[in-house]
Structure 1
Amino acid sequence: MDQALNQKIDAFIAANKEQILQDIAALVAINSVEGEPAEGAPYGVGPRAALDKTLELAAGMGFATRNCENHIGYAELAGADPEKYLATICHVDVVPEGNGWTADPFTMQIKDNYMIGRGVADDKGPMVATLYALKFLKEEGVSLRYPIRALVGDNEETHMRDVDYYLEHYKAPVFCFTPDAEFPVCNGEKGQFNGKLVSPVCNGEIKEFVGGVANNAVPDRASALVETDITKLSNAPNITLEPEGNGVRIRGWGKSGHAAMPEGTVNAIGLVVNYLLDNNLCNDAEREYLKAIQKLHSSTAGEGLGIQCADGPFGPLTIIGGRIYMENGRIVQTLDSRFPTCTDGETIEKQIKAAIGSGAELTDIGVNKPFYIEADTPAIKACIDTYNEVTGDHATPFTMGGGTYARHFPYAVSFGPEHAELPIPEFGGPMHGANESAPIDKLLEALKIYILALLRLEEIDF
């Protein structure tokens, strides 16, 4: 590594650290969960506000910025080649705050060198880091071969319509990385299968069933209201019983986490389903439906539904039930599966339908195929070599179950800044969970990696 350049980067990061944290806090303060479309805000006023704030921060650093018809935006650093450009892409929308926070999720806290707040890891902290990577290049007067755009998405957590709009109306970058996953470099993502398991109109004992805040997050709490006598019910682990009206509110208490990484989570909906079945709190139609979704909740590897499989590049399939609610007298359970290349959406659909039988209907199916880019391509090698150079590791690219913007571009990967091997502190939490946290020193290290990686990418013939 060029020692003079290394020292300049370290000095830049030290000088800008406090402002970086202030800028992240300013974005975290905006509740940017997707909302109802509004004038000039296709994904809701919160995501639009976060997009505006990010472009404001970028303009304050001296970048040319563009709001792409309120769907997405970017800050750009000019380069010599007018036909080709490099890009980074982050998102400033977030999943709902959910439950279990020990403080306001939209007021960033700092504790023991960790940031805590909704979006500090996913993906507002990384968004700010990419802006400061460009700021360093600008302040140093680096002569760029390719322009660099820091793309600002605001619909990643739900439908990614923002990037679909961008690629329909703007030329794609020759290479793009998204800081929205784990280091070192992710060069493949599992396929995605989602849908709903819907009950018939049962008119039974279950008067209300609610749980979960997002389809792609394991819920840590759920509850069902049933018409029964509380004195007839027994206690069960992670279940509480509360009298309510003419019945009992049955609450399940689990452990939340991301749908792509469900190992170690406890799905609260599954706890309530098991309790309802164990205590016969259902009529015949409800029982058949509960048995169907019990198969979903019995294993995050899909064994209950008969869809389990694994392959070399991607490992095992995963599946979770994210939200449950009642609508027009029917119970609706969402499901989110991440699948490897040994299966496909059509096969999963057939297997699930066979497993649930007539107890539930599978509806609203959505499928995204897996994607994979060979690890020895020049841009991926530039990213992994930079990561190893800065950290001293000897890491190799990996694949994952998470879905990022990378799958939408012709040539793209996800590139940090998370470190899966780092234990989460007791006061912190994971992406999509309560007390979402991110270590400050690792984000600053990522900023250094991004600066050096962009310099290395500028040298490649695309």
Structure 2
Amino acid sequence: MFFEKYGPLADAYVAENEQNVIAAIKRLVDVPSVEGAPEPGKPFGPGPAAALAEGLALAKELGLATHNAGNYIGWAELPGTGDKQVATITHLDVVPQGNGWTADPFDMQVKDGWLIGRGVADDKGPSVLCLYALKFLKDHAVPLRHSVRALLGANEETGMADVDYYLKNFAAPDFCFSPDAEFPVCHGEKGGFNGSLVSGELHGNILEFEGGVAHNVVPDRAACLVKADITALTGREGITLEAENGAVRIRGWGKGGHAAMPAGTVNAIGLIVDYLLDNRLCTPEEEAYLKVLQKLHHATDGSGMGIAASDQVFDPLTIIGGMIKFEGGCLWQDLDCRYPTAITGAEIERRLNEACAGAATVREARWSEPFYIEAGDPAIQALLDTYNQVTGEHGKPFTMGGGTYARHFPRAVSFGPERADLALPEFAGPMHGANEGANIAHLMQALKIYILALLRLQDLEL
């Protein structure tokens, strides 16, 4: 009876609001919201604060009560008759635009049934879906047993200090889902390890080395300025050379993507490292460090650095080098590692230092342990049942390497709206990549799923 009662209402609502949803997503995407230098009242810089203001303005226009918690995080909500709370949590900050875009990433475009722009998939599009799901509940005067809150974060991509602030100052929801992954339901996330491989102070041939836009993005381009004679060098696939004041600027051209899903990517930093070593352009001290980086970049499963690991719960470990810089006479290659239960953050740090063999040291190491909730949890089953009923599929809960807000809450999962089986057209790219795309039809289906899931959660004893 549940589906028969609300399914047709949700279908009609989604059809009526499709263009409104697209326009709302554009409003948010068109606000550049990469983390910036903190300002008074804007802990993550002006961009995320502006996006949060726009998101809350949209929520107010939809008739929802809103609150801005010091530009750390905000929310829209509907009250329930009881003392329990269901929440969704998405984020309005984005990774830097990166390179390779065919249009302005902060001017959302609609093309052949797709939205193109930074944040359409991660995570401004899903943010709008959550607000419109609450609007459905309000417009249809659904009697709510549990209050429903749509949380809008502002620091997911670079530290999740927003949710730390929230949980320090406000009570955690009794159940929460984050539309920041794939369907059907993700009930576990790998551990996350970050740090940097740092050389000793170098006084050799490398004059500059830079690449990458964020620690959790495989870099699609990088550049190194090195003392060399360009007439003795030739380019190769993925490498171009430019003479510059008696030196040579080596540019690497790879294929970017999300650090949690590095299959199919090509790390531009790794291309340059190989070129420098193959052409013997560096001093022995520099070569020793570069050989460490070569082991890192040649195997995203960690086998080159002696940290490969797998278990029965998660996919195998992954590791990438996202950004490199030459600072204070030292090279810094940062790391983004997603690891299963078969290894610990402390063991990863130990083995990485061992693999460096004195040519580099691990600095600023930090990690979070894997997160996992049993798939039989009634709330997880409610989400799964909703997804399968809407789609006609027989999906099963899964675990992943990506890290979402869910891991910060006592009872939470990530829930769509991406689909692993959805092929990207040539003109669209993945989350964190150039030409980030989101399929309109799938977004609209996700809106229906979220509406019905929030309704179904009302029947549970939380």
The TM-score by the shorter chain falls in which range? Answer: over 0.9
Q: What are the within-5 Å matches in structure 2 for residues 255-274 of structure 1? A: 255-274=255-274
> Aligned equivalents of 1:197 and 1:342: distance in 2?
23
After the TM superposition, list the runs of 4 or more consecutive aligned residues in structure 1 that deviate by more than 2 angstroms: 1-5
1:146-174 Cα offsets, whole Å, 9 max, x none, are 11000000000010000000000001100
User: Higher mean Cα deviation, 2-11 or 433-442?
Assistant: 2-11
Q: Does 1:102 align with 2:139?
A: no
Aligned to 1:229: 229
Show the 5 A alignment for 1:24-423: 24-81=25-82, 83-423=83-423
Q: What runs of 5+ residues in structure 1 fail to find an aligned partner?
A: none
Deviations 1:194-239 (A, max 9, x none): 1001111111111000110000000000110011110111332211
The separation in 2 between residues aligned to 1:408 and 1:321, in whole angstroms, is 25
AA paired with 2:146?
Y
RMSD: 0.8
Superposition deviation, residue 69 in structure 1: 2.0
Can you give the 5+ residue segments of structure 2 that lack an aligned partner in the other structure? none
Amino acid at match of 2:430: P
* 1:294 Cα deviation from its structure 2 partner: 1.0
User: Within 5 A, what are the aligned runs for 1:422-461?
Assistant: 422-461=422-461
Output one character per residue of 1:3-26: Cα deviation in whole Å (capped at 9) or x when no partner: 342221111111111111111001
Partners in 1 of 2:444 and 2:74 — Cα distance?
A: 24
Q: Bigger shift: 242-251 or 259-268?
A: 242-251
Q: Provide the C-alpha distance between the structure 2 equivalents of 1:72 and 1:231, rounded to a whole number of angstroms.
A: 55
CA distance in structure 2 between the aligned counterparts of 1:61 and 1:85, rounded to whole angstroms: 21
Percent identity of the aligned residues? Answer: 60
| Deviation (angstroms), 1:62 | 0.9
Structure 2 distance, partners of 1:388, 1:356, is 48
Residue identity opposite 2:8 in structure 1:
Q
Residue 454 of structure 1 aligns with an amino acid whose one-letter code is L
Q: In structure 2, the residue corresponding to 1:315 is in which secondary structure?
A: coil
Q: How far apart, in 1, do the equivalents of 2:357 and 2:234 lie?
A: 30
Q: Are 2:6 and 2:452, in contact at CA under 8 Å, matched by a contact in 1?
A: no
Aligned residues: 461
Of 44-53 and 4-13, more deviation after overlay is shown by 4-13
Q: State how far apart, in whole Å, the 1-side matches of 2:116 and 2:287 are.
A: 42
Mapped to 2, the partners of 1:153 and 1:2 lie a distance apart of 31
With normalisation by structure 1, the TM-score equals: 0.99
Q: Which whole-Å deviations, capped at 9, do the CAs of 1:377-428 have from their partners, x for residues lacking one?
A: 1100000000000000001100000000000000000000000111111000
